[in-house]
Structure 1
Amino acid sequence: MIESADVIVIGSGGLGAATAYYLATRSTRRVAILERLEIGSQTSPRAAGMVSCLRKSDLMISLIKMAATRIKQFSADIGQPLDWVQSGSLKVARRVVDAEVIQDDLLRGRSHGLDVEEISPDAAHRLNPFLQTTGLATVMRIGDDMYFNPAQLAVGFARAAQGNGAVLLPNTAVTRILIADGEVMGVETTRGRIDAPIVVDAAGAWTRQVAEASGIQVPLVTTAQQLFVTEPVPDARAELPMVRIMDAAVYMRPCEGGFLWGVYEESPRFFDMNDFDANFDIKDLPLDAEVLWRYARDVEAQLPVLLKAAVREHRGGLPTMTADGQHIIGPARTIRGFYFASGCNVAGLSIAPALGDVLAAWIVDGVPPIDLAPLSVDRFGAGPWPDDELITKAAWQYRHFYGAR
């Protein structure tokens, strides 16, 4: 146990571990990563690990392109393993209204130099024979997209941070942020007090609880996300492009000789983390396989393999959602030295290398290297943010992650 640090990062998921790593490499500041359970053990390793380069804004495309570069160079740059495949992806519209969205996507992607094109259903089937042509209106190929092993990223960043002098403190839950005269003084933990002038709340599903314990408000909600990993499937190959069906919000990618697939369902479950006991581990989250099977039946004409392939693993996590579907990165409104790295919106792990880098630069230099105002908590105003309204908007963002109308 330590008594003080220059920066405390609460949470060792993708966002927290990446921030800690880039802080440790950018300065001589003493960095500590505090994790309530084991390092990198909660939602991050249960993610899909899909990198979608065609986002809804110029800022997000710039950040995800930066993150994709970091992922490709991960092993060489930080000396930790990370398995990745640039398979590309197929974004599928079954409805005319969603085909119109794809036309806008094409224009935005080309303006950013992405490898995008509209292809015929037959061409899509040739690229990924598991995607059938029945009911397809429009398909867009995105050559830049990739996937990686989600279990390796957060742990890799944490170990690399430790190799650069950061202190890892697993099984150390933060119970309160210590604040005096509007300024961070440190944290209280289940193992004692640690003094520090800067704290980063990257606590994932517990972000809001960590902040609210000291009177700091943040408008996000914790959401259940689950997926299946199948047993090996004949002719499944790592280089097959990923598939995203817009209106169903179903996704599928190759995984260890089979497929990983999931859905952003229409009525996701939301949780108040205060309802769980202090020892709750996300691996024990109750899951509902019928949700997945219901959507597999919805896309049976396009992806019949989802109903046919035997399931090897059923896993789930607790990502955080915001009302506008964008991350929350940067300082708190009124507390000096308190920063957020949260609101992953089911895409936080893939973009974590970029967000961790720019947030670390902001903390060290005092200003962000790029304009991050669209991701600031200030964009939501001073509140209050009624939970029912927040949940309604977050559920819409969750369901419409692929831009379906």
Structure 2
Amino acid sequence: MVERVRFLVVGGGSTGTAIAYYLSREAGRDVLLLEANRVGSGQTGYSTAIIRLHYSTPEVARMALTSYRVFERFEDLVGGSCGFRRVGFVLAVPERLREGLERNVAMLRSLGVETWTISPDEVKDLIPQADVEGIASAAYEPGSGFAEPTETALSFARAAAENGARIIEGERVTKVVVEGNEVTRVVTERGEYAPETLVLATGVWTQQIASTFGRDVPMKVLREEIGVFTRPGDFRGEHPVFADLGLDFYMRPHGDAETYVGSIEPPPTAIASPDEGGRPVSRETFLSYHERISRRFPAFERSPHLVKGWTGLYDVTPDWHPVICRDPEVRNLIWAFGLSGHGFKLAPAIGMAVRDLALGRRPEFFDPDHFSIDRFSRGRPITTTYGIGVVS
């Protein structure tokens, strides 16, 4: 028997649960979310969950700012907890990117973001352990930090359920049936649904689902390895989130004695399959990360210990920006994929934008054409100050 449903959201990560939550505030029991495993168990669970506002385009910056305002008042606005910790964010650039950084900071300040440029000496004031050689300038955000990704997704899901939405875990979508210009059925391992509107927030699994109705989406899956390093005794306590565009790494604190480290732009050889999440970090990656962080923070030379590590996954579009749109061919299909490493920090705003699309409204943060799925075939990719990469 086919169950009819008004809004069907597929995917229970931070994006899908945020969509379900914001939709449920207006549509209540008309919202159904399907998650193949457990809420927050996929890409979201492998995220470093950095919350920062530095972006190159007003559209994404507005989304980041709106999301930040949700994260900092999460308990009051959503309920539950997101685990947000305000430690600050520093983005350091070499001379070739100084002017671009200054333009970005001016644009961000015009939108209301609390940020400013700082000198290499001021970077060292914030993080005394830093060797600032090669840093020409940096942007600083005192209010940024990081959160707890699985906790956030679970809180969104619980809040959606309190609004009347149904959250079903352990039900995997196996096929989407499109007839003419309409999704008519969504087939799962347990049954079938006939949605009035289908939202695919399926991250790295998007291509596999799209292929069931003959579509090829502009996306690849990249492996992002995260190393967890122990800091020496004179580098304890929380430090700001730090991204270095000269040495191609970012890091954030984990407790008083550990630091998560990742690459800003995973190499092209990092092509992965959707089921690779959670695998250990390779020795080659560990050595590369250790060499880079030790150049910027020599204290790590005295603590060459990788505590642990894991493989995260990015669903990446050709311009490293998301697809958030109604499908131009299938009238009742909405896409939310290709988040390219930005997804967690933008999740609240994506939830609001998809809610608006589903309810026939114009999104607040961007023109509906801006994140369209066909912008690549039309030769209109999004361009940014720093080029492709997770900081763009």
TM-score, with structure 2 as normaliser: 0.90
Residue 304 (structure 1) aligns with:
298
Aligned match of 1:323: 318
Deviation per residue, 1:304-346 (Å, 9 max, x gap):
3445263333122211011111110011120111111111111
Shift, 1:10, TM fit: 1.0
Question: Per the alignment, in what secondary structure is the counterpart of residue 197 of structure 1?
Answer: strand
Partner of 1:343: 338
> 2:4 — aligned with what?
4
Instruction: Give the letter aligned to residue 335 of structure 2.
Output: F
Give the drift of 1:397: 5.7
2:64 maps to which residue?
Answer: 64
Deviations 1:84-142 (A, max 9, x none): 1222211112x321223322223223322323333232221121123222333222222
SS in 2 for 1:365: coil
Letter of the 1:297 partner, please give it: E
Separation of aligned partners in 2, 1:332 and 1:305: 51
Q: State the alpha-carbon separation in 1 of the partners of residues 224 and 38 from structure 2.
A: 21
How much has 1:360 moved relative to structure 2? 0.8
Query: Structure 1 residues 397, 223: closer, same or farther in 2, change over 3 A?
Result: farther
1-structure distance, mates of 2:369, 2:210 = 20
Cα pair 1:186 1:197 within 8 Å, conserved: no
Identity fraction in percent: 24
For 2:391, the aligned partner's letter is: Y
The C-alpha deviation readout for 1:164-216, integer Å capped at 9, x for no partner, is 22222222111111222311223001112122121111111101111121123
SS in 2 for 1:210: helix
SS of 1:136 mapped into structure 2? coil
Q: Is 1:378 matched with 2:367? A: no
- Partner-residue secondary structure (3-state), 1:165: coil
Distance in 1, Cα, partners of 2:217 & 2:300: 38
Give 1:96's aligned residue: 95
- Write the mapping of 1:92-241 to structure 2, written as runs, cut at 5 A: 92-93=92-93, 95-231=94-230, 234=233, 235-238=235-238, 240-241=239-240
Moved more, 156-165 or 14-23: 156-165
Distance 1:196 1:255 in 2: 42
Indicate conservation of the 8 Å contact 2:173/2:189, yes or no: yes
Distance (Å, rounded) in 1 between the aligned partners of 2:166 and 2:22: 14
Structure 2 gap segments, 5+ residues each: none
Q: TM-score, normalised to structure 1's length?
A: 0.87
Kept in 1: contact 2:327–2:333 (CA 8 A): yes
CA offset digits 1:279-328 (Å, max 9, x no partner): x4733x46424214213313422123445263333122211011111110
Q: Does residue 362 in structure 1 map to residue 364 in structure 2? A: no
1:293 correspondence with 2:287 = yes
Task: State which drifts further: 29-38 or 64-73.
Answer: 29-38
Give the letter for the 1:374 counterpart.
H
TM superposition shift of 1:252 = 1.2
Residues 348-357 or 98-107, more deviating? 98-107
- The answer to whether the Cα contact below 8 Å between 1:205 and 1:222 also exists between their aligned partners in 2 is yes
The aligned residue for residue 24 of structure 1 is 24
Match of 2:87 in 1: 87
Q: Whole-Å Cα distance in 1 between the matches of residues 207 and 293 of structure 2?
A: 35
Q: CA 1:265–1:367 in structure 2 vs 1: closer, same or farther (change >3 Å)?
A: closer
How far apart are residue 147 of structure 1 and its match? 1.4
Q: Does the 8 Å CA contact 1:42/1:317 hold for their aligned counterparts? A: no
Distance (whole Å) between structure 2 residues aligned to residue 367 and residue 267 of structure 1: 36
User: Could you tell me whether the CA contact under 8 Å between 2:177 and 2:212 is conserved in 1?
Assistant: no
Q: 210-219 vs 100-109, which deviates more?
A: 100-109
SS of residue matched to 1:373? coil
Output the CA distance in 2 between the equivalents of 1:176 and 1:350.
Answer: 30
Greater displacement, 298-307 / 187-196: 298-307
Q: Work out the CA distance in 1 between the residues paired with 2:267 and 2:175.
A: 35
- Mapped to 2, the partners of 1:2 and 1:205 lie a distance apart of 27
Output the CA distance in 2 between the equivalents of 1:268 and 1:67.
32
Shift of 1:2: 8.5
| Number of equivalences | 383
Please, which of 291, 307, 313 is the counterpart of residue 308 of structure 2?
313
What is the CA-CA distance between 1:35 and the residue it aligns to?
Answer: 1.4
Does the aligned pair in 1 maintain the 2:40–2:149 contact within 8 Å?
Answer: no
Asked if the contact 2:286/2:306 (under 8 Å) is kept, the reply is: no
